[in-house]
Structure 1
Amino acid sequence: MVPQLHIHPILWLFALTAVLTGTLAEFLIIFFIVVVHELGHYFTAKWYGWRIRKINLWVFGGVMETEEHSSRPIREEAWIVVAGPLQHLWIYAMLFSFKEISVVPASIIEIGLLYNTTILLFNLLPIWPLDGGKMVFLFLSYFFPFKLAHTMTIVSSIAFSLFAAVSFILFFPFTLSAVMLTGFILWENRLEWKQRYYIFLRFLLKRYLTETPEKSKIRPVIVSPSTRLLHVFFQFKRGQTHHIYVKPAKRGSDWLEEQTCLHAYFKLKQHQISAGELLSRSK
């Protein structure tokens, strides 16, 4: 099934600029490369059984929206992220083949090679929501709790974006496309930062509604009796099941299952309850 494609307004703006400036051929080449790149993500996600909502296309990349919300294994998501950049390899092979048999003008081949390299390198930058930024998030998620990893990813993404923008202004000539692209990236990071609490709650809700894999690694979380549930959740990591130990405890077996905590928070609406209170009620 072909995914639903959504064209971001900035891409329409670039298309209009291409028509007015006589660079429509270059725009079509970029559009082709971006679509192939995103289809790499899409078909790999479908291979793993992900539910795809739509693909948002914008200049030099896109964003695939799914229903998974960080509930799948990190390795699985990493392959889906990497699948996009891997598509550029066969695009290189196609362009070099066309060059050998001379079926496409050499000027078009050179433009194709230039934009294929540019889009590939651009998407590997450690900037959210580019593939490089997503790989940074997955790497940090392996070592840190979800909320901390997400916050670190956005902060580092904004810092790198500003550094890249200043460097471009200082060392490269001014172009309207570069300004629009920089503005778009910063805007996306701003939105991600504003929605970070919602994204974290969505991660928790998906975790609550999704059955825990039998082979999931168990990691203890040690908290004080006065720790609120939300602060307990701050320590939750992807790909791991947590046993919440409330210290000091009367017995070594005084602990809560994470599903008990999530159930109390989402189903029973006990948003202000502490771990100690929940433990006493669960006995």
Structure 2
Amino acid sequence: MKFRIHPILLPIFLFFMIVGGVSLYAMILFSLVFHELGHVLAAKQSGMKIRSCTILPYGGELQIVNRQLATKRQRLLIALGGPFATAILLLIGLVSTFPGSAQFTHIQFLLLAVNLLPVLPLDGGQAVSVLLENKQNKYASRSVFLLYSIIASISISLFLSTYLPDSLPYVMISVFLAIQNIISYRFRKYEQAFEKLSASRSFSME
């Protein structure tokens, strides 16, 4: 499994290093990696094989082999694995006292709160998307939820932009989310066709 850091993190990390120093940068990076390890462990426990992991401002993105064939239960467990890991760090920060513990706890709270927002591709959005779909409306519900996520992420970025320059990292993250959702919406039909083809191949091999 390959690990990499998305380039969008570089200006965000630079901002936090200027504002809070190297210690803040280190805590944020550690928190993001630990969050993503939660997803990795959940995927492995669900029997999924991971190809790569990309660390993003809100956590990360896993490239999972045959992800399109995963069951609702598997996808739900994977989506909740990251928030569960962050919740563990948050609990540690709340019950322990160490240098920078208050800042560490604040980071975990923000990371957990952001990831549980019901907006794709955040973990909360992934979980809600899985729970909403069924065999009859699977692709239709995905498309509608993607449209909602586009509108929500753009609205969040516009709201946060009123607090610039302090909100700059969060504006960048929300804009990045909007772009990801727009790309996913544009290519949704190709993804659906690929998923159906993979499912039919899997069925014919059984």
Using structure 2 for the length normalisation, give the TM-score.
0.89
Q: C-alpha offsets along residues 206-247 of structure 1, whole Å, 9 cap, x if unaligned?
A: 2112238x9xxxxxxxxxxxxxxxxxxxxxxxxxxxxxxxxx
**Separation in 2, partners of 1:18, 1:166:** 21
In 1, Cα distance between the equivalents of 2:19 and 2:202?
51
Q: What CA deviation, in whole Å up to 9, does each residue of 1:193-216 have, x standing for no partner?
A: 12111111121112112238x9xx
Secondary structure of 2:61 counterpart: strand
Once the two structures are TM-superposed, the CA of residue 24 in structure 1 deviates from its matched residue by 2.3
Classify the secondary structure of the residue corresponding to 2:52.
Answer: strand
Structure 1, unpaired ranges of 5+: 215-283
Q: In structure 1, what is the equivalent of residue 58 of structure 2?
A: 60
- Given that residues 154 and 175 in structure 2 are in contact (C-alpha distance below 8 angstroms), is that contact kept between their aligned partners in structure 1? no
In the TM superposition, structure 1's runs of 4+ consecutive aligned residues that sit over 6 Å from their partners are: none
**Structure-1 residue corresponding to 2:37:** 39
Q: Does structure 2 conserve the Cα–Cα contact (< 8 Å) formed by 1:15 and 1:24?
A: no
Instruction: Show the counterpart of 1:12.
Output: 10
177, 181, 184: which one aligns with 2:173: 181
The Cα of 1:41 is off from its aligned counterpart by: 0.9
Partner Cα separation in structure 2 for residue 136 and residue 87 of structure 1: 19
Number of residue pairs aligned between Structure 1 and Structure 2: 204
Give % identity: 25
- Indicate yes or no: 2:157 matched with 1:165: yes
2:87–2:112 contact (8 Å) kept in structure 1: no
Cα RMSD over matched residues? Answer: 2.0
Write 1 or 2 for the structure with the bigger share of helix. 2
* 1:197-276 correspondence to structure 2 within 5 Å: 197-211=189-203
Question: What corresponds to 1:80 in structure 2?
Answer: 78
User: Which among 125, 141, 151 is matched to residue 143 of structure 2?
Assistant: 151
Corresponding residue for 1:93?
Answer: 91
> What's the TM-score once normalised by structure 1's chain length?
0.66
Map Cα deviations across residues 136-160 of structure 1 (whole Å, 9 max, x no partner): 2102213752221220121010111
Paired residue for 1:30, among 23, 28, 31?
28
Change (3 A) 1:98 1:190: same
Structure 1 distance, partners of 2:185, 2:57, is: 22
Task: Tell me the secondary structure at the aligned position of residue 96 of structure 2.
Answer: helix
Q: How many angstroms does 1:93 deviate by?
A: 3.0
Aligned counterpart, 1:120: 112
* Structure 1 contact 29–112 (Cα < 8 Å) conserved: yes
Deviation of 1:15 (Å): 2.5
Which has more radius of gyration? Answer: 1
